[in-house]
């Protein structure tokens, strides 16, 4: 089946530092990947759509300068949380679809998530 990996799985950082999270599709290519944020006991909230070779599309209310997304290749997307603050502490999850269209209607395969704690 389709496998998506994320690294790191957990990160603890000091306020003001930047943290980079990698999302990789291991056995398929993904022109589109998605980044979600999940607070404890809440649902997933789409933050942005990562597009290979072009700029990411951000959801309303998500600061693009705060959450930098780079889709470097067909198998790798990175999310950088810049100047992290305690309120950025959350569970960040990426997803991708093996279908070539990368449409939202396609089954999404999620990475294992990255738990970010900002002190």
Residues found near another protein in the complex (CB under 8 A): 34, 41-44, 46, 49, 93, 95, 103-105, 107-113
Per-residue CA distances from 61 to 39, 45, 48, 53 (Å): 16, 11, 10, 24
- Which is closer to another protein, CB of 2 or CB of 82? 2
Q: Which of 108, 118, 48 is nearest to 78 (CA)?
A: 48
Give the shortest CB-35-to-another protein separation in angstroms: 12
Give the shortest CB-113-to-another protein separation in angstroms: 4
- Which is closer to another protein, CB of 5 or CB of 82? 5
Q: The tokens of 104 are what?
A: 């939202």
């Amino acid at each position: 089946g389709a496998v998506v990996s994320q690294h790191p799985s957990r990160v603890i950082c000091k306020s003001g530092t930047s943290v980079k999270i990698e999302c990789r599709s291991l056995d398929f290519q993904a022109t589109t990947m998605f980044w979600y944020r999940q607070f404890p006991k809440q649902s997933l909230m789409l933050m942005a759509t990562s597009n290979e070779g072009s700029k990411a599309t951000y959801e309303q209310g998500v600061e693009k300068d705060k959450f930098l997304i780079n889709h470097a290749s067909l198998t790798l997307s990175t999310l950088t949380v810049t100047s992290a603050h305690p309120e950025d502490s959350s569970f960040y999850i990426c997803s991708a679809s093996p279908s070539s269209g990368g449409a939202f209607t396609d089954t999404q395969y999620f990475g294992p998530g990255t738990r970010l704690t900002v002190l």
